[in-house]
A = this chain, B = another copy of it.
Amino acid sequence: MGGGFGGLAAVKMLGRTQGDITLVDRHNYHLFQPLSYQVATGSLAPGEIAVPLRQIFRRQDRVRVLMGEVTGFDVEQREVSVDPAIAGTERRTIPYDTLLVAGGSNYAYFGHEDWRSLALEVKSLDSALQVRGRILQAFEAAELEDDAEAQASWLTFVVVGGGPTGVEMAGQIAELARDTLPAEFRRSDPRTGRVLLVEMADRVLTAFPPSLSRRAARSLEHLGVTPLLSHTVVDVQPDRVEIRGMDGRTKRITTRTVIWAAGVSASPLARALGEASGSEVDRAGHVAVEPDLSLPGYPEVLAFGDMVRVRDARTGEPQILPGVAPVAMQQGRYAGRLVANRLAGRVTPPFRYRNKGTLATIGRAHAVADIRGLHISGFPAWIAWLVVHLYYLIGFQNRELVLLRWAYSFFTHGRGTRLITEAADIHRHEHPGEEARRRH
């Protein structure tokens, strides 16, 4: 269940065994999520980072893909409830012998669900498309505006969260404003735009060593991004954001565009599994699983990826692993192998994560990398980032086209897909509940 990195890796591994596999996902595509922020800035088109799940498995007769939202489990009856989410079809249950759950995570709005429609995230493809529309509309609105103050509010962009996605997003908006757009506007000057990156910690990219964080911050400033460290967001409104520093003082930023890349909340399916099995669920909603990724007491249920915490084989303590694609993929492959081994009567040693390194890119041709203690920054790190990402786009029909497009953007500072389409047109002044309802 789940067509993300973890689910896909598991199904690919399982494909080598006997037995029928059903893959359920609420989207009809697998998304290369580490690049979805590039859709939000018009660098890449949706079709370049998403590929239909059916297409991936078209040659594997035993893999059946169903489009639907998993809404719950009955681990006693061994059944999954699926809501097809297509009007005119009904909710149904699917029986299983072995269940694999890889539901991933969403952004947490620190209990402020009303901010969700004002400060969109760029993790899902739909939301990234909306962000693209909002960013482009902000520049359009500035061009229409006569009042300097109003123009400035349209040209101020606030990104919340200084992790890899926030850093990448802030860098790309700054590049859009400084390099791509200026020649196209007559009455407003996109170069006067401000990009503010709000981070709760005292440095960006806290998963990296402090020296790389400092270099990343310098690169961001060089691009025109202002990092606002040691600040939390206390309010989001259609025309402003309020942030509070460590000294307790609040500042008001007049802005029309806020992008959210902070906090993680595991898929609600993690809590459902926790309740069904009595296993521990942490504050961010991760369910603790056994060292072999199984649910305590239910060896036929395996869960993995960004919705779980795996217990250490020796201490029994749930370990914290980064919520990145390599973790999910390693766990997915492990889960697939475990099921295959079980069918063959073989025992599988506990799951162990092999950290091959961490990468984050900052704008065009800059990145930081921490590869087994080796710290790289600047252009060499960016080349490493490019190679790794292109390598993992394997299986995507359009890999060569994406490379072409990137090369093109790189040399021309152009962006190919700056279209404002209807999904993006949802006005920010609509009632906050409206969008939340639409999601369900």
Contact = CB atoms under 8 A, between A and B. Distances in A.
Interface string A34-67: 0000000000011100101011011101001111
A58 B239 CA distance: 30
Interface in A386-419: 397-398, 401, 404-405, 408, 414, 416-419
Interface string A122-139: 000110011000001100
B417 A47 contact: yes
B398 A64 contact: no
Contact of A144 (B66, B129, B186, B401): B66
Given A45-B45, A89-B144, A140-B86, A185 B54 contact: yes
Contact of A92 (B137, B144, B397, B419): B144
A187 B423 CA distance: 32
A3 interface: no
Contacts of A130: 422
A30 B81 CA distance: 44
Contact of A186 (B29, B61, B408): B61
A238 B418 contact: no
A75 interface: no
A98 interface: no
Interface residues of A, number: 66
Contacts of A425: 85
Integer count of this chain's copies in the complex:
2
A58 B126 contact: no
Given A144-B68, A185-B54, A404-B401, A46 B419 contact: yes
A178 interface: no
A29 B416 contact: no
Contact of A50 (B136, B181, B419): B419
A76 interface: no
Contacts of A92: 144
Nearest to A59: B183
A87 B428 CA distance: 7
Nearest to A62: B186
Given A54-B185, A140-B67, A397-B414, A256 B419 contact: no
Nearest to A66: B144
Contacts of A430: 87
A140 B28 contact: yes
A100 to B, nearest CB: 19
Given A59-B183, A185-B54, A144 B67 contact: yes
Given A45-B46, A47-B45, A183-B59, A66 B417 contact: no
A242 interface: no
A84 interface: yes
12 contacts: A28-B140, A28-B419, A45-B45, A47-B416, A47-B417, A47-B419, A67-B140, A88-B238, A125-B421, A129-B423, A401-B405, A423-B423
Of all A-B residue pairs in the complex, the 10 with the closest CB atoms, nearest first, are: A126-B422, A54-B184, A423-B423, A87-B427, A47-B417, A67-B140, A87-B429, A64-B186, A58-B184, A45-B47
